[in-house]
A = this chain, B = another copy of it.
Amino acid sequence: MMNYPLLLTNFMQHAAKYYPGKEIVSVYGNGTFRYTYADWYKRTSQLAGALRSLGIKKGDRVASFSLNNHRHLELYFGVPCMGAVLHTLNIRLSAEHLVYIINHAEDRILFIDEDVYFLIEPIKDQLKTVEKYVILSQSGVMPATTLSPVVLYDDLIKECPEAYEFPVDRDENEPCLICYTSATTGDPKGVVYSHRGLVLHSFASSVALGVQEKDCALHIVPMFHANAWGVPFACTMRGMKQVLPGRQILDMGSLCRIIAEEKVALSFGVPTIWIMLHNYLENGGEHDFSSIRQLFSGGSAMPRHLIESFEKKYGVIIAQGYGSTETSPLVTVSVPKSYMETMSVDEKIDIRTTAGMPVAGLDVKLINMETGKEARMDGKEMGEVLVRGPWIASEYYKDPKQSAISFRDGWFHTGDIGIMSKEGYVSLVDRTKDLIKSAGEWISSIDLENAIMGFHKVMEAAVIALPDDKWLERPLACIVPKPDAAQTITKEEIQDYLKDKVAKWWIPDEIVFLAEIPKTSVGKFNKKKLRETVISDILQKRGK
């Protein structure tokens, strides 16, 4: 067979040549911008020319600091296809972490969304390698910024030709993107993606998720969050209509208007979004979901009752995906198999409540932490989830110490503990570091959280281990009540509610009510922070 490299370039040019008239839609606060793949390819070619003019060479890092919009999608292909590496910066990172990762990746240019440039200004003097700032501006007005030298994106590219000779005689293992994990401990860790990895991830995820050319995809998950789960690459490969919602993702009314107007079929987001959407619906929010074929949730576990309510009350099917920055990210997806069609609705929701089944192309196994052997597929035996495959990282960027911890014996050790059913569906039980051991028995903080979140007065619940003299550890539930229940909710009614839901010794003795659960920059519960604040409070009260 030909030694033909797997490059994102093929997807970009395929879309431009065979789906030139299909739309890319970018929603801004002051209106909707729409253009075609043909136009997008022209501007992406101009961008590549501009990067070359700026002296960007093969392997150089160029960073984006942006919401989801059409210029970001130009960067997604223009940067890697001209030979450089796009570093997608998480706009929610702390200033300290931002400085660390920009310097660590040695980013030469920063492409910054006009809505968030002020977040970079305070740290600009600490950035050692940045030579230029480029403002992604839909308004066309240069903000009054202290960043320098600075140019508007459209001004930067406008003089460049609309054709660019993207190199195709390249090694498919060349880096194309870099993304740092949002570490809760230590420094963020960088994952470098290759063209090969993302091409294969696009094919495999398209197959596993069953995406079709006719589907319109709405990218709610941020493009700085594990490459928007790789979805923009898969969509471009198929010439699918893509909708980039910018900051509208936090306004459920706008989101529902976009879904209805653009006839969105598929969307991808973290549970926080779906919880917000659900609250909006429960409050009678206007919506038309007739175009939706499936929603995908990932990043953390989706509570069962939400999946159930979306399906039974609103006719919307939600499947979950599981993965991480290190896995490009798709590892498993919770789609029932065809012979499960005859199952009851509730049984199918049980399947969708799991983290899902491994996608073809990967190897996944669960290793019992005590025996070191592969756990049985019996839905009971717990094990750490290990993954290997062509779109799984083999190391952290310039970080041999962290790499040695997570990448061993050819496998990525996810740090997630799960069980696998007879049918191959993984249910995540906990993080290796969050599992609670009480009187010699494991308690899954995640299972307990889900049980608590089933109570009608609870909006969010996080469970952590509380040191205990007698039992070693006991579960502590940190609960955010729904706004209208904040005054009436009691510890006792929750304990009572849990009686027939979990084992008796799982029921937390201690329950605290909070205004919010601290979250990481990608919206996951920040249990480290929770431990630091809540537990010390309790121990103090106990006089320890």
Contacts and interface: CB of A to CB of B under 8 A. Distances in A.
Interface of A: 1-6, 10-11, 14, 17-19, 21-22, 173, 192-194, 196-197, 199-200, 203-204, 206-207, 210, 212-214, 237-239, 328, 337-339, 341, 357-358, 360-363, 388-394, 410, 412, 423-424
A448 B238 CA distance: 34
Given A6-B390, A200-B203, A213-B337, A358 B1 contact: no
Nearest to A21: B339
Contact of A339 (B22, B194, B361): B22
A20 to B, nearest CB: 9
Contacts of A196: 1
Given A22-B339, A238-B360, A2 B394 contact: yes
A339 B22 CA distance: 9
B390 A213 contact: no
B207 A203 contact: yes
Contacts of A213: 337-338
Contacts of A239: 337
Contacts of A192: 1
Contacts of A197: 1
Nearest to A365: B17
Contacts of A339: 21-22
Given A18-B358, A210-B212, A213-B338, 4 more contacts: A3-B394, A18-B423, A199-B361, A239-B337
Contact of A337 (B1, B5, B19, B199): B19
A6 B199 CA distance: 13
Nearest to A3: B394
A239 B340 CA distance: 14
A2 B410 contact: yes
A170 B65 CA distance: 40
Contacts of A361: 6, 10, 14, 199, 203
Contacts of A11: 360
Contacts of A199: 361
Contact of A363 (B3, B10, B363): B10
Contacts of A10: 360-363
A204 B423 CA distance: 26
A380 B206 CA distance: 34
Contacts of A21: 339
B206 A357 contact: no
Nearest to A175: B1
28 contacts: A1-B173, A1-B193, A1-B328, A1-B390, A2-B388, A2-B389, A2-B393, A2-B410, A2-B412, A3-B394, A4-B388, A6-B361, A6-B390, A10-B362, A10-B363, A11-B360, A14-B360, A17-B424, A18-B358, A18-B423, A18-B424, A203-B361, A207-B237, A210-B212, A213-B338, A214-B338, A237-B360, A239-B337
